[in-house]
Structure 1
């Protein structure tokens, strides 16, 4: 095993606040558990939960590193005593509960996946958080099936672009909302039947019209607020609505009658606090169902821009501007 340094550079949240509270600091390498691998990070995805953590609204789960970052890709450089699948030098990506914004990151072996053939490490750094989130919410919780219709809000985001590609390739019709004509066209290029500019169009009317009045079978929403009531109007009979974030607020007043009349299911979930075992089940499903699509080039992570690790604050500024289409990635 090659010698490892005693220290590494990691991004610390010096105090809750704006992007400028993110500072590069020297710190010790993670101490591995028997079931973990140590990854030399080549790419770390930036996600909305990182912004919430920086602002003080999303603390890491018990036992997780205080360093932000929920997904990484790179090479295995050390293994715990119980690790059996991976060896030094393997190219991997991993879902982690924290610690991604660093030169080295520890990850539970069961939450690590090999980098799909033909996918670069930079691209792989933008896979785990969004792919795990979409799979568990759209395909497991909401049970989207081939031939059904999915409406994705925030279609140009990392989650949105992933949901569009995955649902399209697995046989569903997809509609997506986005905030500009350019972003709508980007959604369509990834497989959305129709990008809906929410600044100029009513997504309820567009989806109902395009589905001959039926509506969407599944709605993936990260907006909340007044979208909740409009989602109820858009949903088809037996529709399933899943909330994964609330950019416009989580406290809403809604008419529950459509839920009863259309026999709707309202749901939601978070990913970060789940156990290693729960996340491992999602990993196995992704490897079986989605990794072949990545290897075949039918799905490709959409990397909008990379930043050096030390410029994490700039990456967060871009994330908060919502100007991006796809993923923002830090490169140590």
Structure 2
């Protein structure tokens, strides 16, 4: 079952290529982004290792169930709602709005933005309301389809004849600049796929252990470096700061002569449409499960038929996306994304310390027993 966690590590790294981190890193490329990224690699890897080791101690239990064993019920509810409503729900809303607008701009700019959002929200609402096991089966199938092609494009970008390594070396030379806190905090998000264990740890049986943990820092570092340096290699040290749709224009700079794939942009956007819907499915589903547990603790890995509460909560998240689009522009969304990334950085430390406390309590119980 550990493969599900690694699927989340992989897709969180990939979704950041188009969504959250690149603009912030590129903005600070001469003001500490490099040193901030190096620190983020260490912090992100350490948090991932510690959290995975901590959840190993509680097989079959999600974060809310672990909380119920050691802290008062009211605090469990507070932490669960905080995680759902301040981390996962906003993440899905930000992504579905941003990518809905990105796809519309490049594929059909004359289309009503609310209609395009409706199509994506409909898919997100249906998928996120399924049972946890069904959500993970969907996730696995989509990752096996999307990942090979996307990794092929990224490798092709690195070895492309148009890639300017001198620009990369020039920007890398700013490693001696003091680290940018925003760049560091945002870059750690590429390592945070392990936070799916909040919910998915329920899938693990007694005696479960994570193998191949080195995959987490490997994927995180790879996608972080690609996210930052590939656009610089294509557009130059100064020109890279002029683009709004940074990675879309980077993909449009590549051409492949592989059968029907010529202009990379359209295939690239289709792949990321699938990734964005996966992200929305997982974040909204996690929100639904955390809210349900806070209300009545009635959750299960397999539910057939799907509870009506799942459908209503997913519909509420979808409606929130329309409200978000009504009042937020793409420029405001970027500011909100930056604020969310920094807030998530501090929340990760809160939950890390909580898990360490729970592990300490369990060891203390075993000693007393």
Please indicate, yes or no, whether the TM-score normalized by the shorter chain is above 0.5: no
Higher helix share: 2
Higher relative contact order (CA 8 A, sep 6+): 2
TM bin, normalised by shorter chain, reads under 0.3
TM-score (norm 2): 0.22
**What TM-score comes out, normalization by structure 1 length?**
0.24
